[in-house]
Structure 1
Amino acid sequence: MGISLPELFLYLTVMKFHFLLIALCCCTGLKAQQAKPNVLFIFVDDLRPDLGCYGDTTVKSPHLDSLARKGVVFKKQFVTVPTCGASRMSILTGKLPHKRSDLTNEAAESMVRTEMPETFIEQLKRNGYYTVGIGKVSHSADGYVYPYNKEKSNQLELPNSWNEMLFDPGKWKTGWNAFFAYADGTDRNTKKNDVPPYEAAPVEDNGYPDGLTAELAVKQIEKLADKGQPFFLGVGFFKPHLPFTAPQKYWDLYNENDIALTPSPDMPANINKASLHESAEFNQYKLGDEKASLQKPVSDAYARKLKHGYYASVSYVDAQIGKVLTALREKGLDKNTIIIVWGDHGWHLGDDRVWGKHTIFDWSLRSPFILKTPRQQKGFNPEQVVSSVDIYPTIMELCGIKMPYKGDGESLLKAKRNTAYSYFKQGITVRTDRYRLTQYYRNAKPDIELYDHKTDPWENRNIAAEQPKLVKELQVILERGNTGVYQTPKTPTTDQPDN
């Protein structure tokens, strides 16, 4: 049997419409996929909020300040653990520490053993994102698990999170050597600590590893721009972590004599020195000019030199971040990319006579958190007290992805808690808008500390004994953050130093 011309015409018309409908659906699906916001997350090691956008008038940080003007600067963001690996695992999983191993730098290695919840990077990957990591995102300097003084392994620290994990160690050959690098190709590891804690060298930006990381990130942005797929790009910079090493031009930005000394030169009043530490990480740099201790502060001249090195390192990493942000903008990707810059914890720069992190004072727990969304986002409160565990659910909401489990944080688009819990040194501390209350689980007394940030913003005086009623009220809030990580004052300390 034949087919008539009208029937053939009708058939072809229907088929044409069918194919147009399929094409339209495919295009719509592709556009929907491309409409998902990309995520650029920049992790910065040991960066405290000494930046222009946080009100610091000394530090030169033009690129971060420019980003801050376009986004949200969370002024009261506190990390959960003041050591690198544990702090990063807490932010990656959205979980507070619940056991003693969660307080150590080896916390990240538990991801290999699948003992930890899924990271927000893994969730993005599961939901169609192409995930790329560069440098120190979790704890390892290059994303692989191996000791400081050994050859690089093939074991990823976050095995389920990455499509690609990249790093350029340059002349230092391994990630951990690069982490402790000096401009001549040596490092703290191979020099067995016979090195100074600072260096200014007449080199270009790629004369130190963070310059190589910036170059690698720029190349990846160029590739990701052509991929046609939403992406997560995590970039981990080393500076200003010890040693304070940066090209000479960044040291030249500062007049050392103009650098102010700490407003907290002595230990806080009415505390036990067990709340602080003897700056072991800093003192292992054997060629330092002076040793730090709780017995007396370092000289004013040396304190200024060290702060000079820290500030130069901050300006150096700010310039590298600027290169990454410029590449994103030049590719037009900034229009649909969530940008986050986060410091993994603070650092005592001679404050309370300490040089380093590893305390549960504001100096060590408060760090920068800058967030820029593609479109103006209502609901954020930059003055609110927030915790780093809030970042996971915030990313999920901004990307339209459901949380895979109930974490310990809340999306900052609707956060109401206004508190932040932190853990270390046998202690649990809670930061409210006005107060910090700390409970230590130890035999050394006093084991309770209370600081009023309205009258004492630098936490120079413990007033717990003077305010028993207020302590009792705040202990109710503190107990909500008691995850069982510390249970008895007779439990020996197992917190590990971050090197």
Structure 2
Amino acid sequence: MKHILFRLLAILVACTAVPAAQAQDPPNILWITVEDMSPNLGSYGDTQAHTPNLDAFAREGVRFARAFATAPVCAPARSTIITGMYATSLGTHHMRSVGWLPDAVRPFTHYLRAAGYYTTNNHKEDYNFETPPGTWDASSTEAHWRNRPDPDQPFFAVFNLFTTHESHVRAGPAYERDVADLPPALLKDPDTLTLPPYHPDVPAVRAAWARYYNVITKMDREVAALLDQLEDDGLADETIVFYFADHGVGLPRGKRWLYDSGLHVPLIVRIPERYRTAGQGTPGTVEEALVSFVDLAPTVLNLAGVDVPEHMQGRAFLGPDLTPPRRYVYAARDRMDERYDMQRAVRDERFKYIRYYEPFKPFYQYMNTPEQGVVMKALRQGAAEGTLPPAAERLMTPTKPREELFDTEADPFETHNLADEPAYRDVLERMRAAQNRWVEETKDVGLIPEPILRAMEEEADLPAYTLVRQQEVPFARMRDVALLWTEGPAAVPTLVEALQSAHAPVRYWAAVSLGNLGAKAHPASGPLTDALADPSPTVAIAAARALCRMDQPDEALPVLVQHLRGDRQWVRLHAALVLDEIDDQARPAIDAMKAEMTYRDDMLADGKYTVRVLNRALNELLGTDNEVR
């Protein structure tokens, strides 16, 4: 009956999604996703973790040793998971933002539904775009495969477990609720834990790591409860089960970072024998091949016997007719809440390369959310007292290197940068070239400043993905100009020329690069003054920043205040960030900054990101300690 129903539905919607040939009933598929968690499971070799249920699950399935998120934070990562496309291609790469999907791109559950699947999500979405109608049959705290109208209908069900989220690792009511039913003997003794070398070894940090391991123990029990429901329903032998995390641990230098601590995730897949392709799914095996989040959607469709749409950018890693394994995985970090910091990473099975497009910014920019945690407070205190361990101290510098290269086999914590070592020159150039190719081939819209990108979308009435494929957008030129300042004053004439580009993103990066050079770019002060009237407010703000860094704030400050008072959210944020950066030069603008310390219900998140930046700037200028949400 189940097979017949699936076939009839598939024929009816053949124009939408054409299922591949099925030799048997289609599998049910269950996703169990968890928040903010690195591979801290017993099955991954972490002896500090108490995860008996997931360890047993790993013995029944395949443990993927090299699975990586495409972003170290939830919304951009989930954007990729649900579409099978890089967030940096779709324009959904900032945390948080509201992107716009082109008509041809749908969440992969659309194709499953068209092929006869009942799809449910319980319950977090957080895709950085408005969920299109038809994505789910049900998406709520009540969504469950048990609610499908026909018990013979195949299902794809997602359960998002929130227990390990960073907010639950903090001491407080959420954490206390999570661990209330755990036997005291299972609660971790902070003094027995081994900490990573980039965290200070102080009691507050040890306590945070103990809480993290305790909520993992709780989560392990929640996973077991879901697996028990499958067994109780007699569906375990008909259901492929995926378990994975949305990115790495929710502590500083994990979540929001492109190190493995932010990107490496657990991924375990259990495939009933009847659905195994030859050589796949053998219980208790370990798969060493690289897997990226962009591969999850194609893999589910392939397992379900549904053709993978051509626009998807990943590859199926399970099921029939696989393409060759990938050589690299890629990841991106862009705006994290109120702070921009464009970073890109590429990793092979051994080496990790990180390109910092804004190395003039510190590793640890002040961000409201992580600063509330005890680990970030301990890092700040240790930096002030000069007591941090070397691996933590290197992250407290006011600037970053342009590039980092790590041998993850010899240096799993990624603390020894090999980028300047001659012995690794060939590796560096290979990985750098891979990153450059990826930026161009995927049309990485992270190179287009957020206010400019949104203005381009609005003007063309097209989503970013379509826009950059229909218009001439010089990705290589933007990338090169963004990095040109690293060549020093010799780059000034070329940057001044770039200030005249017809493309606003090129002009923006030219102004930023000149500002990074500071007084060394003084010959460009005239063209930068002219750029204060640029038709793009974002370029004008970047020019104002450059002039301030040349100690010429008089004409720049009014431009910053003008755009701070505007109605475009991301333009306002750019202006606020410059006012925060220029410190005492911003004093004449204090009254204007105070006046804009208001939440706006016409903006995403009530405009709180601009409020946060202004609050930080005013606290620094006035010696206050005001807190905002």
TM-score normalized by the length of structure 1: 0.68
Change (3 A) 1:469 1:121: same
1:16 aligns to what? none
1:285 aligns to what? none
1:243 aligns to what? 168
- 1:264 deviates by 2.0
Kept after mapping to 1: 8 A contact 2:253/2:259? no
1:463 aligns to what? 418
Kept after mapping to 2: 8 A contact 1:137/1:234? no
In 2, the alpha carbon distance for the partners of 1:128 and 1:27 equals: 10
1:161 aligns to what? 135
Match of residue 233, structure 1, among 152, 157, 163: 157
Match of residue 423, structure 1, among 325, 332, 344: 332
In 2, the alpha carbon distance for the partners of 1:327 and 1:122 equals: 26
Task: Establish whether residue 254 from structure 1 lines up as the match of residue 179 from structure 2.
Answer: no
Change (3 A) 1:456 1:88: same
In 2, the alpha carbon distance for the partners of 1:28 and 1:164 equals: 23
Q: What letter corresponds to residue 386 of structure 1 in structure 2?
A: V
Q: Pairwise mapping of residues 258-269 of structure 1 onto structure 2 (< 5 A)?
A: 258-265=191-198
Task: Establish whether residue 303 from structure 1 lines up as the match of residue 205 from structure 2.
Answer: yes
Alpha-carbon deviations, 1:456-482, whole Å to 9, x = none? 111011010003232112222222321
- 1:438 deviates by 1.2
- 1:138 deviates by 3.7
- 1:64 deviates by 1.6
Q: Pairwise mapping of residues 454-493 of structure 1 onto structure 2 (< 5 A)?
A: 454-466=409-421, 467-482=424-439, 483=442, 484=444, 485-486=446-447, 487=479, 488-489=482-483, 490=509
- 1:224 deviates by 4.1
SS in 1 for 2:158: strand
In 2, the alpha carbon distance for the partners of 1:225 and 1:336 equals: 18
Q: What letter corresponds to residue 468 of structure 1 in structure 2?
A: R
Match of residue 215, structure 2, among 313, 316, 320: 313
In 1, the alpha carbon distance for the partners of 2:132 and 2:202 equals: 43
Q: What letter corresponds to residue 454 of structure 1 in structure 2?
A: E
Change (3 A) 1:308 1:435: same
Kept after mapping to 2: 8 A contact 1:251/1:308? no
1:103 aligns to what? 93
Match of residue 337, structure 1, among 239, 256, 260: 239
In 1, the alpha carbon distance for the partners of 2:3 and 2:148 equals: 21
Q: Pairwise mapping of residues 132-211 of structure 1 onto structure 2 (< 5 A)?
A: 132-139=120-127, 157-167=131-141
1:152 aligns to what? none
Alpha-carbon deviations, 1:201-253, whole Å to 9, x = none? xxxxxxxxxxxxxxx56xx3444496221111111111211122122343731
Alpha-carbon deviations, 1:1-33, whole Å to 9, x = none? xxxxxxxxxxxxxxxxxxxxxxxxx78624867
Q: Which runs of 5+ in 2 are unaligned?
A: 9-23, 170-174, 281-285, 334-340, 361-399, 448-478, 484-508, 513-541, 543-572, 578-607, 610-628
2:304 aligns to what? 399
SS in 2 for 1:371: strand
Quick check: 54-63 or 372-381, which moved more?
Answer: 372-381
Alpha-carbon deviations, 1:55-100, whole Å to 9, x = none? 1111111222222111111111111111111101101111113358
Kept after mapping to 1: 8 A contact 2:253/2:262? no
Q: What letter corresponds to residue 440 of structure 1 in structure 2?
A: Y
In 2, the alpha carbon distance for the partners of 1:225 and 1:333 equals: 16
Higher percent of residues as helix: 2
Q: Pairwise mapping of residues 429-468 of structure 1 onto structure 2 (< 5 A)?
A: 429-444=345-360, 445-466=400-421, 467-468=424-425
In 1, the alpha carbon distance for the partners of 2:426 and 2:296 equals: 33
Change (3 A) 1:301 1:389: same
Change (3 A) 1:356 1:454: closer
CA RMSD, Structure 1 to Structure 2 (Å):
2.9
Alpha-carbon deviations, 1:379-406, whole Å to 9, x = none? 5571112111111111111110001233
Change (3 A) 1:435 1:358: same
Task: Establish whether residue 117 from structure 1 lines up as the match of residue 117 from structure 2.
Answer: no
Kept after mapping to 2: 8 A contact 1:131/1:164? yes
Q: What letter corresponds to residue 372 of structure 1 in structure 2?
A: R
Task: Establish whether residue 85 from structure 1 lines up as the match of residue 75 from structure 2.
Answer: yes
In 2, the alpha carbon distance for the partners of 1:428 and 1:157 equals: 27
Q: What letter corresponds to residue 432 of structure 2 in structure 1?
A: Q
Alpha-carbon deviations, 1:442-462, whole Å to 9, x = none? 253521100011211110110
2:116 aligns to what? 128
Match of residue 228, structure 2, among 311, 326, 337: 326
Change (3 A) 1:317 1:225: farther
SS in 1 for 2:345: strand
Kept after mapping to 2: 8 A contact 1:78/1:420? yes
Identity of aligned residues (%): 28
Alpha-carbon deviations, 1:332-380, whole Å to 9, x = none? 111111111120000264xxxx365111111001111111122244455
Q: Which has the higher contact order (CA 8 A, sep 6+)?
A: 1
Match of residue 63, structure 1, among 22, 39, 53: 53
Match of residue 257, structure 2, among 333, 356, 359: 359
In 1, the alpha carbon distance for the partners of 2:25 and 2:2 equals: 12
Quick check: 304-313 or 256-265, which moved more?
Answer: 256-265
- 1:104 deviates by 2.2
The alignment of Structure 1 onto Structure 2 pairs a total of residues equal to: 372
In 2, the alpha carbon distance for the partners of 1:38 and 1:433 equals: 31
In 1, the alpha carbon distance for the partners of 2:262 and 2:315 equals: 23
TM-score normalized by the length of structure 2: 0.55
1:171 aligns to what? none
- 1:265 deviates by 2.6
Alpha-carbon deviations, 1:249-307, whole Å to 9, x = none? 437313314542323236xxxxxxxxxxxxxxxxxxxxxxxxxxxxxx3x521112111
2:592 aligns to what? none
In 2, the alpha carbon distance for the partners of 1:418 and 1:258 equals: 41
In 2, the alpha carbon distance for the partners of 1:27 and 1:370 equals: 27
In 2, the alpha carbon distance for the partners of 1:392 and 1:399 equals: 11
Task: Establish whether residue 29 from structure 1 lines up as the match of residue 4 from structure 2.
Answer: yes
Change (3 A) 1:316 1:463: same
In 1, the alpha carbon distance for the partners of 2:156 and 2:225 equals: 18
SS in 2 for 1:110: coil
- 1:39 deviates by 1.1
- 1:116 deviates by 7.8
